[in-house]
Every structure is written in structure tokens, then in C-alpha cells.
Amino acid sequence: MAGEIPATGPPGSWDASLTKEDHPAHPPHPPEGPEAETRKDVAAPPISSYLWGLLRGRWGESSETALVPPGPHFLPSASPQLTPKTSVEPCETEKPKTSFFAVPMEMRGSFLVLLLRECFRDLGWLATIPSISGEVGLLVTSTVPQTPFFWAMHITETLHRNMLALFSALAEAEEQQPYLHDSAVRRGTRGLAEYHLGSYGPAWNRCWVLDRVDSWVVVMFVDFGQSATIPVQSLRTLDSDDFWTIPPLTQPFMLEKGILSSNQVIHRILKGKITGALNLESHILKFEEFK
């Protein structure tokens, strides 16, 4: 193995939806209609059609993920018959509390450097992140609930081209990729596993093995920022560097204000602007959503 990977425990919930027994070996046909449209001059595989349909179909929609402020507190009306209380010294105004959130391990620079070195053999992707600025559209792919951190695809033409190229290659190769032998599955293994893509269903995507416990492995889907626990026997080989020339499609962000309260924001588009970067982890950009 090329390097040492920090050990991680299985996530809080086991994602049994990714097992071979529950899902067919091949993803179902994509939905028909406007959301399945892609460029007419490019034959896109179903998964790319689905994702780009989200981008094109929802870009004009208003965000559905704004945090709802609490309603006004009920204040009883004053009664003129109340006896006034004796004056007391005013209490010192309580200062608002500032919340601090630890950066998730999978978003830390040290972790991403190891991932890029092990999987992509190139660290250049991190250097491109600070160039993102101004108004942006983000397709959310994963969240860390009750924190401001989330993973998202920055919507650009470059993203479109990379999606088409990557998912076309994976769609053509998935049937030819054999399942990994049990002895070959260990920390740091690059592979191909089924990722549940919302209403589209399961589809084969690039992943990296974070840890192994008996007949189960914890993997990270590098193009979605999502970790899952899956059976060892469900992993296919994907060790050719040809499949790892395109950098991760998703990247870490954090909200400038507020937190993400649930996973309902996944596969929705947030429109806003980049306001800076997180101190000491400058690859995590701060994002302020337009209201």
C-alpha cells in the first residue's frame, strides 16, 4: 500500500441500500422528459443525464433550503392594575453565544492530500480551489447534519465536460471490471461501488476504501463526498490510472451563516456567493446563500 490512512469507524448508520442483494447490478434506465436531456451532440450515459438534468432544470428555481427563523415570542399585554415593582439594577445584557464546529475529518487538508496522492497521483486540484470567487451555483451532494459543512459540485461548463467524460468511461467499463478478491480489499484500495443517487437509484462510481471490518468496508465516494459501509464482495476493481485523471467532482464548503439541519438539501441547488475561506483550512470555501 502506498501510504498510511487514518483509521475511521463506520458511519452512524449502515447504508444497506448499497448491497448487491437489494439492488440490480446495473442502474435502471434514466427518467424521460426535460430532466433527462443532455447536449444533443454528446451521447451521455444515464447518470450524467440525471445529474446534468438537475443542474439545468433547477438552476432557475429559488432555493428551497433557507433556514426558517423562529416565530415571534408571545408577549402578554400589559395590565394597568398591576402594582409596579420596586426598581432594581438592570441586568447585564447576555451576549450571543458563538458556536464552534470541528472540521470533519474527510474535509481536512491532511486527509484530502492523502486521498489525492493515493487515488489521483496529483495534488493540483487543491491549488485550483482558491480561484473560485463571486456568485456561484452549487449542487449539494452531501451534508454534515447540524453543522455548516457540506459537499457540493460547483456548476460550470468544466463540471459538465468532466461529468460526461467520467460517467461515460465508467458506464462502458463497469461490466468489464471484475469484483475485487477478498484479500485485495484493504485501506487505500481504489475501487468501483454502487452509490445511491437519489430518485435515480444505484449507479457505479469511484470510491476509496477508508477502513475494513471483517466482511464490511467503509468507503468514500470521491465524487460525492459521501461515506458508506458496504460488503467487501460488492467492490469492483478500478485501479487503472485512466479512471482517475479527472479530479473529484465535488468539494467541501461551509455556510457563512447558519447550519444545515437535515439531508433534505442533497441534490438541490444553492445560489449565492463565496465570501472567503476557512482559517487554517483554506480549501474549504465559505458560502453565503442568496435569500
User: Looking at the DSSP assignment, which residues form a beta bridge with residue 205?
Assistant: 193
Enter the C-alpha cell of residue 148. 455548516
Distance CA 190, CA 215 (A): 17
Instruction: Write out the three cell numbers for 283.
Output: 480549501
DSSP 246: S
Say whether pTM exceeds 0.75: no
How far is Cα 236 from Cα 207, in angstroms, rounded to an integer? 10
d(CA 222, CA 172): 19
- Show pLDDT as tens, one digit a residue, over the chain (291 residues): 444 444 444 443 334 333 444 444 444 444 445 444 444 444 445 666 666 666 655 444 433 333 333 333 333 333 334 444 455 555 555 555 556 889 999 999 999 999 999 999 999 999 999 999 999 999 999 999 889 999 999 999 999 999 999 999 999 999 899 999 999 999 999 999 999 887 778 889 999 999 999 999 999 999 999 999 999 999 999 999 999 999 999 999 999 999 887 777 888 999 999 999 999 999 999 999 998
pLDDT in tens, 23-46: 444 444 444 454 444 444 444 456
Q: How far apart are CA 101 and CA 99, in angstroms?
A: 7
What does 126-195 look like in DSSP terms, one character per residue? HHHGGG--EEEEEEEEEE-TTBSEEEEEE-SHHHHHHHHHHHHHHHHHGGGSPBPPGGG--TT-EEEEEE
